[in-house]
Amino acid sequence: MGGADAGGHDNTANGDNTANGDNTANGDNTANRDNTATAVHAAGSPDTVVAWAPGRVNLIGDHTDYAGGLVLPMAIDLGTTVRFDRGGTHLRLRSGRRRPLSLDLPVAGSVARSLSDLEPSWGRFVAAAAIEVGATIGGDGEISTTLPVGAGLSSSASLELAVALALGFDGSPLELARLGQRAEHAASGVPCGIMDQLAIAAGTTGHALLIDCATERYQPVVIPDTVEVWVLHSGVKRRLADSAYAERRAATEAAAEVVGPLAQANLDDIESIPDPVLRRRARHVRSECDRVQRFAAALATDDPTTAGELMEASHASLRDDFEVSVSQLDELVVALSARPEVFGARLTGAGFGGCVVALARPGSNLSGVGSAAWLVRASDGARQITG
């Protein structure tokens, strides 16, 4: 979808990742990671700004963030680099060989009012971030990424946060995440929650982040070394994701009007919601929040078997109650679950296509599963590298 995952827009900025090497990754793509930022840093002048933001994968807790529920994503070691030589009031950014973005700062007038008309379309996320930062000093440079496109790994949130940092944002991870969320709403029109941006802003190496989206409090949860995290693409580009996402969110809000905040709602109350669709949507949110809590506990006690079972249950709930899966995602989950080295798998992110996340034994090779596969590691959050 255009929102959380940049899948719905022209992903030139996020999509042209050839500069960083081949990240189709069927296997070990670690060689490409973080190298861009490091190399640019070494070559940078004092006036060169470089910022990097990871993508994220959600281990469990989908379609709960905007309902004030729990989520457990992690920032990953694939991400977006923004680099430019600072100066002037114009921002010119290239991405691959496509048409560059050219913006006058501060972004104002018709550009700010109709972001959805801005071309190239990835520039909408850049412009929205520039508006939120209130940037007045621009520059000339480029954007590159190691993130796969349209995969549910939050390439647009990664882009927005990297741009905000490059343009001089200075504040806490939560403030950065909120800024990114506002930029996402403005650029894509998708009413996303805070999960993606907060995971990207506040990530910690070796940890997932347990976020209570009602309070926006978060705490790191160690990922034990008895598991590795894989992301497998279903091969399906996400379809109808933007409108369906907004529709799902509206349904959870309608259900919450009947039974109160869904994350804590009484189960009997949920089962007595008259409308069967709202009842299913509410049941998913409530049960998913429970699963997030139990999953975090399973990680803390190094119990990957239970964690894997919870992932399977999460997928079933997203498929049956929330109805955001597609057959290719279901088949991928079944294929992965049949493998002895996999503890569990589920769709990750908004659904409607995109990727599955799997928890596997260390040393597993899932590179032949799905249309592309990435072994990902929990990474630190977004940061400015120079400037």
The catalytic residues are 196
Buried b (16+ CB within 10 A) or exposed e, 301-335: eebbebbbbbbbbbbbbbbebbebbbebbbebbeb
Helix (H) or strand (E) holding 230: strand 228-233
Binding residue (CB under 6 A) for ligand GLA from 151, 282, 296, 350: 350
Q: Does 160 engage in binding with ligand GLA (CB under 6 A)?
A: no
3-state secondary structure of 11: coil
Q: Give the interface segment with ligand GLA, choosing from 47-55, 58-66, 273-281, 339-347 (CB under 6 A).
A: 58-66
The piece of 39-47, 190-198, 259-267, 352-360 that touches ligand GLA (CB under 6 A) is 190-198
Contacts of 340 (CB under 8 A, 6+ apart): none
For 230-267, give one letter per residue: b (16+ CB within 10 A) or e: bbbbbebebeebbebbbebbebbeebbebbeebbebee
Contact between 384 and 166 (Cβ < 8 Å): yes
Least Å distance, CB 86 to ligand GLA, is 30
Q: Are 126 and 163 in contact (CB under 8 A)?
A: yes
- Give the separation between CA 294 and CA 310, rounded to whole angstroms: 8
Is 4 near ligand GLA (CB under 6 A)?
A: yes
- If binding is defined by CB under 6 A, does position 193 make contact with ligand GLA? yes
For residues 91 and 84, give the distance between their C-alpha atoms in angstroms, rounded to a whole number: 9
Residue 310 Cβ vs ligand GLA, minimum distance, rounded to whole Å: 15
User: Pick from 6, 14, 15, 66: which binds ligand GLA (CB under 6 A)?
Assistant: 66
Count interface residues toward ligand GLA (CB under 6 A).
13
Q: Does 3 bind ligand GLA (CB under 6 A)?
A: yes
Chosen residue from 53, 164, 176, 192 binding ligand GLA by CB under 6 A: 192
Check binding of 288 to ligand GLA (CB under 6 A): no
**Residue 65 sits in the site that holds ligand GLA (CB under 6 A):** yes
> With CB under 6 A as the contact rule, which of the stretches 63-71, 336-344, 366-374, 375-383 interacts with ligand GLA?
63-71
State how far the Cα of 179 lies from the Cα of 42, in Å rounded to an integer: 29
Q: Does 68 bind ligand GLA (CB under 6 A)?
A: no
Does 354 sit near ligand GLA (CB under 6 A)? Answer: no
Query: CA-to-CA distance for 44 and 86, rounded, in angstroms?
Result: 11
CB 71 within 8 A of CB 288: no
Q: How far is the CB of 241 from ligand GLA (least distance, A)?
A: 9
Q: Is 142 in the site for ligand GLA (CB under 6 A)?
A: no
Which of 62, 77, 160, 228: binder of ligand GLA (CB under 6 A)?
62
Of 310, 244, 308, 312, residue with least CA distance to 281: 244
Q: Using CB under 6 A, which of the segments 3-11, 44-52, 129-137, 352-360 binds ligand GLA?
A: 3-11
Residue type at position 60: I
Binders of ligand GLA among residues 330 to 349 (CB under 6 A) are: 349
Does residue number 63 form part of the binding site for ligand GLA (CB under 6 A)? yes
The least distance separating ligand GLA from the CB of residue 159, rounded to whole angstroms, comes to 13
Taking the C-alpha atoms of residue 226 and residue 305, their distance in angstroms, rounded to an integer, is: 11
CB nearer to ligand GLA: give 49 or 164.
Answer: 164
Question: In this structure, what token pair is assigned to residue 184?
Answer: 């996402």
Look at the block and give the residue holding tokens 């801005």.
118
Sole binder of ligand GLA in the list 195, 221, 255, 282 (CB under 6 A): 195
Q: Does 74 bind ligand GLA (CB under 6 A)?
A: no
* Min CB(131)–ligand GLA separation in Å: 19
Pick the closer one to ligand GLA by CB: 34 or 65: 65
Phi then psi for residue 262, to 5 deg, are -65, -30
| Choice between 94 and 248, CB closer to ligand GLA | 248
Residue nearest to ligand GLA (CB): 4
Q: If you write DSSP's letter for every residue of 97-127 in order, what string do you get?
A: TSPPEEEESS--HHHHHTGGG-SSTTHHHHH
Q: Interface residues with ligand GLA (CB under 6 A)?
A: 3-5, 62-63, 65-66, 192-193, 195-196, 349-350
